[in-house]
Amino acid sequence: MKLKFVLALFFAGAFFLSAPKTSAQATAQTTSAQAPTASQQQEIDKDVKLLREDIRAKKKQLVAANLQLTPDQATKFWPVYDQYTADLVKINNAKYDLIKEYAQNWGTVTDDQALSMLKRSMDVDAQVNQLRQRYVPIFNKVVPGKTTASFFQLDRRIQAMIDLQLSSQIPLVQEQQ
């Protein structure tokens, strides 16, 4: 099981290393030259949407491969997981909107804008933590405590990997000077 998880993370990591970099480079090229046209922005938004859907599918595969569920537990677990994911997507929409705003303003971000974006980013992190806390008892009603804890370990590890890949593609604010 441990080897399967390490291999899965490796393959997911390889995916995240290539895909976000491509879209980040496209965004950087567009923002450095000029603001994207409406059709270019729609194409970027479409690519990001598809990437996020693919990430969610890969995340579900990783969870399924590494969480030991009986058939009865699986029947109860996956609908809760899907609702949790839907709620998480709503929160992450704010995260991706913030990244998009940062990219669109790159090169002209003021001190006030930087602090506003920082606060909103921390608010998103707090909302994710609150969501996890809200869902612990919900998951624990359908699977045992160790399984609930294992799921949230997987969830946090996968999210940490995604966040690492995202943050590696986003330049520091002070680099715009």
Q: Point out the least confidently predicted range of 10-24, 74-88, 153-167.
A: 10-24
Q: Per-domain residue ranges for the chain? A: 2-176
145-169 vs 111-142: helix crossing angle, rounded to 10: 160
CA distances for 7 relative to 53, 68, 122, angstroms? 21, 17, 31
Highest mean pLDDT among 3-7, 37-41, 84-88: 84-88
Residues 167, 100 contacting (CB under 8 angstroms): no
Tens of pLDDT, residues 116-158: 999 999 999 999 999 999 999 999 999 999 999 999 999 999 9
**Alpha-carbon gap, residue 121 to 125, rounded angstroms:** 6
pLDDT at 46: 64
Residues 106, 28 contacting (CB under 8 angstroms): yes
pLDDT at 175: 81
- Quick count: other Cβ atoms within 10 Å of Cβ 32? 9
What is the separation, in whole angstroms, between the first and last Cα of the chain?
48
pTM to 2 decimal places: 0.73
The torsion of the CA quartet 133, 87, 15, 48, rounded to 10 degrees, works out to -140
| Burial grade of 143 (CB within 10 A; 0-12, 13-18, 19 or more) | buried
